[in-house]
Amino acid sequence: MNATINDFPAPNPLCFTRFEFADALRVSVRTVDRMIADGEIRVRRIRGKAVRILRSDAERYLDGGSATGNGGGR
Could you report the per-residue pLDDT of 33-51, keeping only the tens digit for each? 999 999 999 999 998 889 9
- At 24, the pLDDT band (50, 70, 90 cuts) reads confident
Supply the pLDDT for residue 63.
87
**Domain assignment of residue 49, yes or no:** yes
**Domain assignment of residue 56, yes or no:** yes
**Domain assignment of residue 20, yes or no:** yes
Query: CA 57, CA 74: separation in Å to the nearest integer?
Result: 15
**Into how many domains does the chain fold?**
1
Q: Does 6 score more than 80 pLDDT? A: no
Supply the pLDDT for residue 64.
84
Domain limits at 19?
10-62
- At 8, the pLDDT band (50, 70, 90 cuts) reads low
Q: Does 17 score more than 70 pLDDT? A: yes
Residues 6+ apart with CB under 8 A from 30: none
